[in-house]
Structure 1
Amino acid sequence: MVIADKRLTFLLEHYWGQCQGGAELQTHYLEHEAIHKGLDAHYCFFSNGNDIDRINGTMICPIAKRKIWSKLNVQYPYAFDIFQALKKMKPDVIYQRCASSLTGIASCYAQKNNCQLTFHVASDKDVSPISTPWKRPWLIPEYKLMQYGIRTADTIIAQTQLQAEQLKINYGRQAIVIPNGHPVPADCVKADNQITVLWIANWKSVKQPELFIRLVEEIGRDENVHFVMLGRTDRYSGLVKLAKSHNIEVMGEVSNDRVNDYLAQGHILVNTSRQEGFSNTFIQAWMRRVPVVSYRVDPDHILQNEQIGYCSSGNFRELVQNTGVLIRDSKLRNTMGARARKYAIKHHSLENIDEILKTIMQ
């Protein structure tokens, strides 16, 4: 049961206002629900500045980043700064999402200060086995703290049943499974005179944007098919030029509202990631009658079992074939889209955010 006036601190690497990733979006929804329920909410994260401010009722508490630690991709050197910030906030509950040394730092503080820690799995990678990085020894404390935090957190929430199973196997911990939640949008009508195929992610190696470009090359140019890529393209200028040469519209980073606008008008979402947690864009697409064609990722086999898209099991030829089928077959595409919207509304509404908050504050 949620009790008003309790103090809740969100501890993540990024804040929604600076980095609009999936974990930040879900935490953003949770933050709003906490304020609505009367909780005293604080948000601690890394930033280029250190100005404390209150935004939409939440006290924002940035910790100034240092270039050397960002370059080495470690967070444990900030342990003292985080402890000092938490001592000032005096949280009753800490919510930490995305496994890192922050998980262990939060757990150390919680155990010493009569505080509860909830760790929320953000990716399948969070609960996968980890080998000690002997060739990069500066990462060893990072991984050890992360593992300590997962093993000692008071409560763990997973997005999927598969994550919960992996957590049990690799850490001996039980998780409460609560899927991601999203606002339910108004229904949309798709115009079929031109088919829009979307790819939505920040460009990085795990997302494999090059596979989408290969896909478009294989399908070939068609004046009735429009290919669009959304997401931050840092350090990928060469690949951006290649995409544009194949008549792909590269929009770069856009707001979450604009992503939803594209999905409302789009017809197919292609995902080429090697690994995800539970992709928010899947849910946003399903809510807007857009079936998903995935290269490898199928959380809890939902695409297959619910028949709301295709998983190509890491087979590029299947990815091309499955995308082509949905481009050509409007009846199948519309049937899958209707089924996807019904599924998403039933299983991924903002009621899940309320359930997460109740679990955190119990």
Structure 2
Amino acid sequence: MKILIVNQHPQDVVGGSEIQCSLIASSLSESGHDVIYLALNGSRSRYDASYTVVTAQPGFQSVKQALLVHRPDVVYWRFNRRKFLESMLACKQTGTKVVYAISSFTDLLKWSHRINFQELSWKERIRIACSIQFLRHLLAMRVNYVGFYLTDGIIAQLQSQTGRLPAKKEIVIQNSIAGEREDFSWPKPYVAWVGSVKGVKNPETYLELAQQVQRDDVDFLLVGDIKNRYKERFQPENLPPNFYCLGLKSNAEVNGILRHALFVVQTSYVEGFPNVLIQAWMQGKPTIGLFYDPDDMIATQQLGYVSGNFAQCVKDTQTLIDNETLRQEIGQRAYAFAASHFNREQNMRKLESFLQEIIDS
């Protein structure tokens, strides 16, 4: 197969969907497929990758040009909905089959936005909701939603995401994680949080958790790129003595950090399927979800705790810190579950089969 993967590239923007796309591109290329990664908004002249990377801007003309030049059998689209409708029209005009891979809960919403109104005052909510910029964004997202009617298939990460989008064909293929790991050491036992430090991830609650659970024997580490609005809040002079920001780390470095963590805390309000959960389970670590539990996996498989509120999260954190036997029991279940459900080779075979089915349809 000749496959065009469309997203931003992780060497331009580090995010979960970009990391997944690069992993998929590498795996498909290793399996003998002709893979071209169309890096939208790409800023590099050269990419360090085992597959072909070309850059383009989002939009009808640039996507159409890429399709005419490379003539893929199928497009694997995992970019957001900006200029999505016109890009799908380009696929239709060139006779190219396309599958859309869901990355976030916002992909499922007709009137999609990423503003976390829960953390805003009522005045700020009214101001934003009534702003021309916000209304224009909502309208654009609603118009681009029509693009889903032009796709040939939908790939969901979770069973709960199925049946939510117009789809001729639909399948669930869960994320996979590259297993490479760089060793990491820290002078104390520690709890870990991993992700982009932005509103929907709710990082300030993790900081509040560290302030509530101040102990001399445990540190709280935050790993990830800190977005502008949070830079001042997470300056070293504004942090408690048990809290450390490690900045952006590679996938291998993150695996090493998680390998030696006591457990992982995830504070997002809602997600697609955060890579860090899979990474934590693959490293045999329990997870605490403050609110979010993808397909109820944490609860039903007993992979940690889903706290539901901050006070319970503090209690769950204390419990796991103090009970090594419990951590080991949960960690063993987590590893067994991850090994059987997020196997890279199995997921790639499933993806290959689905893409071929789309091409043949």
Q: TM-score range by the shorter chain?
A: 0.7 to 0.9
Aligned residues: 336
Q: Report what 1:270 is aligned to.
A: 265
Q: How does 1:280-299 map to 2 (within 5 A)?
A: 280-299=275-294
The answer to which of 132-141 and 269-278 deviates more is 132-141
The answer to which of 114-123 and 139-148 deviates more is 139-148
CA deviation after TM superposition for structure 1 residue 307, in Å: 0.3
Question: Is the counterpart of residue 23 in structure 1 residue 17 in structure 2?
Answer: yes
Q: Report what 1:159 is aligned to.
A: 157
Contact 1:157/1:176, CA 8 A, preserved across alignment = yes
Q: Deviations along 1:144-168, whole A, 9 cap, x unmatched? A: 453122222101010001111433x
Shift in CA distance, 141/173, structure 1 to aligned 2, threshold 3 Å: farther
Shift in CA distance, 140/307, structure 1 to aligned 2, threshold 3 Å: closer
- Residue 234 of structure 2 aligns to a residue whose secondary structure is helix
Aligned counterpart in structure 2 of residue 216 of structure 1, from 210, 213, 224: 210
Question: Is the counterpart of residue 117 in structure 1 residue 98 in structure 2?
Answer: yes
Shift in CA distance, 245/334, structure 1 to aligned 2, threshold 3 Å: same
Q: Deviations along 1:220-242, whole A, 9 cap, x unmatched? A: 2x222121000001312221136
Q: Report what 1:244 is aligned to.
A: 239
Matched to 2:154, the amino acid is I
Q: What value does the CA root-mean-square deviation take over the aligned residues?
A: 2.7
What TM-score do you get using the length of structure 1 for normalisation?
A: 0.85
Structure 2 alignment gaps of length 5 or more = 114-128
CA deviation after TM superposition for structure 1 residue 92, in Å: 1.5
Aligned counterpart in structure 1 of residue 218 of structure 2, from 225, 232, 235: 225
Aligned counterpart in structure 1 of residue 319 of structure 2, from 295, 314, 325: 325
Q: Report what 2:298 is aligned to.
A: 303
Distance in 2 between the 1:276 and 1:141 partners?
22
Contact 1:182/1:284, CA 8 A, preserved across alignment = yes
Q: Report what 1:82 is aligned to.
A: 63
Aligned counterpart in structure 1 of residue 77 of structure 2, from 89, 96, 106: 96
Contact 1:124/1:277, CA 8 A, preserved across alignment = yes
CA deviation after TM superposition for structure 1 residue 143, in Å: 1.2
Q: Report what 1:3 is aligned to.
A: none
Q: Report what 1:340 is aligned to.
A: 334
Matched to 2:103, the amino acid is A
Contact 1:101/1:144, CA 8 A, preserved across alignment = no
Q: Report what 1:142 is aligned to.
A: 140
Q: Deviations along 1:96-147, whole A, 9 cap, x unmatched? A: 0144135423321222222110100011221134279883354256314531
Aligned counterpart in structure 1 of residue 191 of structure 2, from 187, 197, 215: 197
Shift in CA distance, 266/166, structure 1 to aligned 2, threshold 3 Å: same
Q: How does 1:29-108 map to 2 (within 5 A)?
A: 29-47=23-41, 49=43, 51=45, 56-63=49-56, 78-108=59-89
- Residue 198 of structure 1 aligns to a residue whose secondary structure is strand
- Residue 227 of structure 1 aligns to a residue whose secondary structure is strand
Distance in 1 between the 2:224 and 2:209 partners?
18
Matched to 1:195, the amino acid is P
Q: How high is the sequence identity, in percent, across the aligned residues?
A: 25
Q: Report what 1:130 is aligned to.
A: 111
Distance in 1 between the 2:269 and 2:291 partners?
6
CA deviation after TM superposition for structure 1 residue 94, in Å: 0.5
Matched to 2:90, the amino acid is Y
CA deviation after TM superposition for structure 1 residue 34, in Å: 1.6
What TM-score do you get using the length of structure 2 for normalisation?
A: 0.85
Structure 1 alignment gaps of length 5 or more = 1-5, 65-74
Shift in CA distance, 55/214, structure 1 to aligned 2, threshold 3 Å: closer
Matched to 1:319, the amino acid is C
Contact 2:202/2:269, CA 8 A, preserved across alignment = yes
Q: Report what 1:178 is aligned to.
A: 173
Distance in 1 between the 2:315 and 2:48 partners?
47
Contact 2:110/2:141, CA 8 A, preserved across alignment = no
The answer to which of 279-288 and 81-90 deviates more is 81-90
CA deviation after TM superposition for structure 1 residue 195, in Å: 2.9
